[in-house]
Amino acid sequence: MNESRKSKVESRKQFDFTTVGKRTPYRVPEGYMEQQKDRLKESVSNQVPAVRPLRRAWYYGIAAAVVLLLAVYPVMQLISPLTETPVYSIYDDDSYDWADFADADIFLDEFE
């Protein structure tokens, strides 16, 4: 094998990663992983997830609407019987007044 070819083959030579595998030189103190898990849970429990301002505004808006509805509803219930016109109170003559020319056929059909 000539010199240039030999160097080409050598340059293509790859390190065999399986000789090391996943071993690393990093170590942790004994029992660290278990302690760390508990420490993490504790540190997280002291944190309150931040509510974004826009979402907070929505919550306030919805709460205000619910309160307003609860306050207004009983009043509306008291007022509504006086302001609404019951169906039976509409006279037949009024019905004719409301009907326009295009509805004439309906009344003709009824008289037949």
Partner 1 sequence: MILRLRHTTTEQLIERYHEPLYWHIRRMVVSHDDAQDVLQNTFIQVHLHLSELKDKNQERSWIYRIATNEALQWLRSKHEFLSLDDTDSDDDESNASLIHTLMADEYVDTGDRLVLLMQEAILTLPTMQRTVFNLRYYDELPYEEIAAVTGSSVGAAKTNYHFAKEKISNYILERQ
Only one residue has tokens 């000539």, namely 2
Rg (CA), the chain: 42
Could you tell me the CA-to-CA distances from 56 to 62, 68, 70 in Å, in that order? 10, 18, 21
From the list 7-15, 61-69, 84-92, 97-105, the region that binds partner 1 by CB under 8 A is 7-15
Only one residue has tokens 């205000």, namely 64
Interface with partner 1, residue 25, by CB under 8 A? yes
Interface with partner 1, residue 18, by CB under 8 A? no
Q: How many residues bind partner 1 (CB under 8 A)?
A: 27
Residue ranges binding partner 1 (CB under 8 A): 13-15, 17, 19-20, 22-29, 33, 36-37, 39-41, 43-45, 47-50
